Amino acid sequence: MSSLLYIIAIILVIGWILGFFVYSAGNLIHILLVIAIIAILFRLIRGRGI
């Protein structure tokens, strides 16, 4: 489960980077970034590291 969460976080960060330069999705990309950061922080807090 934690590896799946990490993979989703990476995909969301990549989507945010692409959306940041394309500006096609607007605020949705920034919401995805926040979700990805929360997922990464959750993984770090659980002690597994990146």
**Phi, psi torsion values for 25, nearest 5 degrees:** -105, -5
Tokens matching residue 46: 């659980």
Q: What is the pLDDT of residues 7-34, one digit of tens each?
A: 888 888 887 777 666 665 567 767 777 8
pLDDT of 50: 54
Question: Is the pTM for the entire model greater than 0.75?
Answer: no
pLDDT of 2: 67
Contact of 39 with 6, CB cutoff 8 Å:
yes
Counting Cα atoms < 13 Å in the Cβ hemisphere of 40 gives 12
Does 36 have pLDDT greater than 80?
yes
Tokens matching residue 15: 């989507």
